[in-house]
Amino acid sequence: MRYSTDNPALWEGDQYLLEMEVDPTSDPKKPRYRYTEKAKKAQRAKWQRLMNNRKPRKNLPQRLLASSGNRVPYLLYGWPFKKDHMVHYARRHKLIYPTTKNNRAAFGGIEEFHFDSLTDDDMKDESRMVSYRRIAASLVITRLIEATGFHIELGRPFSFDYDEMLVLWSNHTFEEYVAMPAHLGLFEKGKAIIDAAMNEGNTGKKVELRWWWSWDGNDMSVFESVD
């Protein structure tokens, strides 16, 4: 079914992005609606075009710093990673998580959870992997902070290729956090440590330190202009 609209942002080629259909699993008396498969495919294509216009960059011009006084997008400086990278790292390095009284029962009553005890079958259990990913990321970040002295947080890059990223700073905090490591000559040493951790076990494209658009920090919508 074709829809008429004068808003070009709601179209991807000749496909209307808001095309809906009745969910056949819903109650006919109280039908639920969902996007058609064509609409969902077109929405993903539109997201990809948005990402292509907001690619990561190696350097950040002065005009994109919040202190420039310009209206700037929210950008994050760090290393992106796929969702299971931290669990694999924790497993290889035999990291240990001290359970708490609030979650010990969920770990079978043990006081310490050893990540090297995870089996390949455990890694396929998505219900558990949600918690393992969060815990592993916390352990790895703590380890890297201790090794480098850097301020490190988690962020979400605007990308379909990666799920999260280790963030050193944003274009709003750049001048606050960069001065000390640079002044003491520690930045390159710390960068090398994190580079190694983020590329360990990586068989694909090398992960590098870059400025990324933040998926959560910017008001972006697939129903808006690509520009």
107: burial class by Cβ within 10 Å (0-12, 13-18, 19+)?
middle
63: burial class by Cβ within 10 Å (0-12, 13-18, 19+)?
exposed
Q: For residues 193 and 107, what is the distance between their CA atoms, to the nearest angstrom?
A: 31
pTM: 0.87
The predicted-structure confidence for 107-159, as pLDDT tens digits, reads as follows: 999 999 999 999 999 999 999 999 999 999 999 999 999 999 899 999 999 99
The predicted-structure confidence for 159-182, as pLDDT tens digits, reads as follows: 999 999 999 999 998 877 776 655
